[in-house]
Amino acid sequence: MAGVSTQTFASVKSRTIYFWILSLLLVLSFTLATVLQPRAGTWTSRSGAENVLKVVLGDGRRLFANHFFVQADVSFHSGYYPSIFDHTALPKDSSPMIADSEQHDEHAGHACQGEHDHNSAKCSDDHAGCAHDHGEKGHEHDPHEKAMSFLGTPRDWVEAFGRRFMITEHTHLSAGNEREMLPWLKLSAELDPQRVDSYTVAAYWLRTLGKVDEAERFLRDGWRNNPNSYEILFELGRLYHEARKDIERTRNIWELALAKWGEQQANSDEPDLRALSQIAIHLGRMEESEGRLVRAVELLQLAQKASPNPEVLAKDIEELKHKATLPVKAP
């Protein structure tokens, strides 16, 4: 101790005191954390499973979700997309991906079997399988094609020259490249789990790309977040019907979708008739193929009420009624 100065001794002593104070504070913080953590869970409605994005962004995440949803549509159109300045081309609907779907509804009972729903992305694909057959590029008379021809002729030389450096051709993703939309839809759903479109559009494309398990998992996530969504139930039913060929489960799900629609939309001022029409037509067609003709007629009549062009379905209903009244031949 003889070689140790009093200053050094005092310095060591003060450091020891600081060390003990810090240790004490650390223990105190830890103890408080263990006491408060279980209680903090009850202070807000947030569950532990909620992700960091929700905690950080709050309700503002819905804005980003909308952006990513639009980004998926931009991706589907390979970058050719109207800006906010091209307002004449912007869809009136809240979602640009639902822009041109209504026009197709009436074909649902015929060749396309009700494949027209949710978004421009789906519609283009549906058309590819239909008599319309416009493949990668839409044809000139297609309203979607009209809406997407927003560029027009260049107004001046600056614009004319600028177009040489931008995408000026309206194309849709094809040949499996539709997968490029999926990350945006997934992000959109992560940010806003109540955005039903993100689930249904992604599930549609996953199913089309042969990823049935992923589509089902994603739809079930969506259903968990939106237990009353008839749109998700309808899409889930399509998955079971078209990919799994599980008639019984499809019937249960679509019947549930119809019931959910009734609960939410029947007394609404502006009911979602397009959704009703789709569910009823799909379920009706399935019942027809299963030989349950009376129920099929009921469903098609329901679809007819919801349809803007009921005469298209009238002929099918008459034929079904006729079939239903015919005596069953003995084997």
Taking residue 208's Cβ as centre, other Cβ atoms within 10 Å add up to 18
Per-residue CA distances from 23 to 10, 12, 16, 17, 27 (Å): 20, 16, 10, 10, 6
Single out the segment in contact with other proteins by CB under 8 A; choices: 82-90, 103-111, 113-121, 225-233: 82-90
Minimum CB separation from other proteins for residue 192, in Å? 17
Q: Residues 101, 117: contact at Cβ < 8 Å?
A: yes
Stretch 143-182 residues interacting with other proteins (CB under 8 A)? 155-156, 158-159, 161-162, 164-167, 169, 179-180, 182
Q: Does residue number 56 form part of the binding site for other proteins (CB under 8 A)?
A: no
Single out the segment in contact with other proteins by CB under 8 A; choices: 73-81, 236-244, 256-264, 315-323: 73-81
Report DSSP state, residue 112. Answer: T
Stretch 196-225 residues interacting with other proteins (CB under 8 A)? 202, 206, 211, 214, 218
Q: Does residue number 75 form part of the binding site for other proteins (CB under 8 A)?
A: yes
Q: Residues 304, 298: contact at Cβ < 8 Å?
A: no
Among 7, 34, 85, 153, binds other proteins (CB under 8 A): 85
Closest CA relative to residue 122, chosen from 186, 208, 45, 191: 208
Minimum CB separation from other proteins for residue 303, in Å? 32
Euclidean distance between CA atoms 216 and 156, whole angstroms: 50
**For 252, how many CA atoms within 13 A lie in the half-sphere containing its CB?**
4
Which residue number, 6 or 83, has a Cβ lying nearer to other proteins? Answer: 83
Which residue number, 186 or 321, has a Cβ lying nearer to other proteins? Answer: 186
Among 83, 94, 268, 325, binds other proteins (CB under 8 A): 83
Closest CA relative to residue 277, chosen from 311, 310, 306, 236: 306
Q: Which residues bind other proteins (CB under 8 A)?
A: 75, 78-79, 83, 85-86, 155-156, 158-159, 161-162, 164-167, 169, 179-180, 182-184, 186, 202, 206, 211, 214, 218
